[in-house]
Amino acid sequence: MNWTDERVETLRKLWAEGLSASQIAAQLGGVSRNAVIGKVHRLKLSSRGRATAAPARQKKAQGAGGGKSVTRSATVTRTVTTSIGATALQQQFDAEPVARQYLRPVENVVVPISRRLQLVQLNERTCKWPNGDPLSEDFHFCGNDSAESGPYCTYHAKIAFQPASERRRSR
């Protein structure tokens, strides 16, 4: 993929809106987040808020016989949204960098343990058990490590996958 004016324009826009490099890469499609970051730097439009301070690093002596196996499972080819000049596609990604301040300690209810969950990032390995009222600010997901390929952590899995007999009883 080459950086057409259109793509660069989209990049600038999304970056200005505060989307992360990986999210931008996902929308542009065909590029990695590194590519996006690299481009951002070349365009000299780096500063934006302040995600990870840049205290002038000066380390990099790589090369010299790497030594690592190539175990990078790329996450390319995601559901690339194809509406290009649209503004509508923006909505579904919507990475509101503000609303996260409503996150509060997860252990206010029955959940025994909780995990950091810096923001609402749900992965394949995070418990997706919803907690609280979706309409309330308290709402959040468990976020604990889910068991091997499971949607919930071991705790919530027990609740979610109740034996038929038991569930029948409480009805």
Partner DNA sequence: CCCTGATTCGC
Partner DNA sequence: GCGAATCAGG
Please give the residue ranges that form the binding site for DNA (CB under 7 A): 1-3, 19-23, 31-35, 37-42, 46-47, 51-63, 66-68, 70, 72, 118, 121, 123, 125
Residue 19's contacts (CB-CB under 8 Å, 6 or more residues apart) are 27, 93, 95
Cβ nearer to DNA, comparing 120 with 157: 120
Write phi, then psi, for 17 (nearest 5 degrees): -80, -5
Tell me which amino acid residue 158 is: K
Residue 144 has a CB neighbour count (10 Å cut-off) of: 23
Rounded to whole angstroms, how far apart are CA atoms 134 and 130? 8
Residue 142 has a CB neighbour count (10 Å cut-off) of: 23
Cβ nearer to DNA, comparing 131 with 143: 143
Cβ nearer to DNA, comparing 116 with 169: 116
Quote the least distance from Cβ 86 to DNA, whole Å.
Answer: 22
Cβ nearer to DNA, comparing 94 with 162: 94
Quote the least distance from Cβ 106 to DNA, whole Å.
Answer: 16
Quote the least distance from Cβ 85 to DNA, whole Å.
Answer: 20
Q: How many CA atoms lie within 13 A of 140 on its CB side?
A: 26
Quote the least distance from Cβ 132 to DNA, whole Å.
Answer: 22
Determine the Cα angle at 74 with ends 26 and 38, to 5°: 60
Cβ nearer to DNA, comparing 58 with 136: 58
E strand or H helix at 24: helix 21-28
Could you say which DSSP state residue 140 is in? E
